[in-house]
Amino acid sequence: MATPTKEWSKLEIRAVVRFLFSKGTKPSEIHKQIAETYGEGAMSISRVYQWCTWFGEGRTSLGDEPKSGRPKTSTNEENTTRVDELIRCDRRMKIREIALKLEIPKSTVHEIVHDTLGYLKVSARWVPKMLTENHKLQKVEISQRLLQRCQQDNGDEDTTHIGVGPGGDFQANNNLFDNLITGDETWVHLNTSETKRDSMTWKHPSSPVTKKFKVQRSAAKVMATVFLDAKGVILLDILPQGQCINAARYCSTLDRLKEAIRRKRPELLRRGVVLQHDNATPHSANLTQQWLQRYGWEILPILPTVQTWHPMTFICLDP
């Protein structure tokens, strides 16, 4: 007995059925010969009878007839343009809302949005500081003041030599950045939960599933005041839990800063300290200003802190 042919196509089997049927072979015999030549799974006996009936009725095509169903006409240029216009008017509009508004299937809208137009919808991002026009003007003015301060130390108006060196360090032929100390306060939580990215580990497909319990960031927190210069941190002052900073406490912190400078950067006290901090109430209080004037420290401002949170949602890959 001959070995059945392993590779064959539907059209080939149907052509064999038509050939044998045209010779007057019975359908049962046709099925027997196909099974011997191509294997039992090539075509069932019911399908042999069905094709023999079609050939007897005059059919000549060996391919499949077009299937009935709803024609795919909703994905066209007109609907693509309408979907694009809706998205450009409202970037937060959902697939379901677009489908209801245009009266076309959601699957079609999904195909137009992702495949045809190439949109990707991303989650909302919180922007910590939303600057007003006044804040932007202050930023420009402060930047110009810092630039003028650099020019005063250089003794000329040329600032082309100010830039970033090969190692990534800021380089300038002046004393401002050698004498500048920047300070600010921040809240530090006693327990900070690990992020999802930080907890990721390498594993094989057969490795057991790792589990991680959800831990919230602790409500208990303390305020830390940090002062640093171009060489690193000079002072880290942490208030006792439950206390906030005020003018008297900030002056006490400045006393600690003066002592830390004397130990770590004694040359700063001889050249003159340039302190840069924001206009928070403890910083701008009369008591603090008197302390700074007593020791002759120069003050350079920075942009005031803006406590406004603003959500921003957008769709990227905009063609």
How close are the terminal C-alpha atoms of the chain, in Å?
Answer: 64
42 versus 75: the higher-pLDDT residue is 42
Per-residue pLDDT tens over the stretch 191-200: 766 666 666 7
Largest CA distance in the chain: 119
Give me the mean pLDDT over the 65-78 stretch: 64
Partner residues linked to 222 by β-bridges: 188
Cβ proximity of 17 and 51 under 8 Å: yes
Q: Which pLDDT does position 289 carry in this prediction? A: 92
- Is the whole-model pTM more than 0.75? no
163 has pLDDT over 50? no
Q: Which pLDDT does position 286 carry in this prediction? A: 93
> Could you tell me if residue 317 is left (phi over 0), alpha (psi between -120 and 50 degrees) or otherwise beta?
left
Q: Which pLDDT does position 263 carry in this prediction? A: 92
Give me the mean pLDDT over the 124-138 stretch: 74
Closest residue by Cα to residue 273 from 306, 302, 299: 299
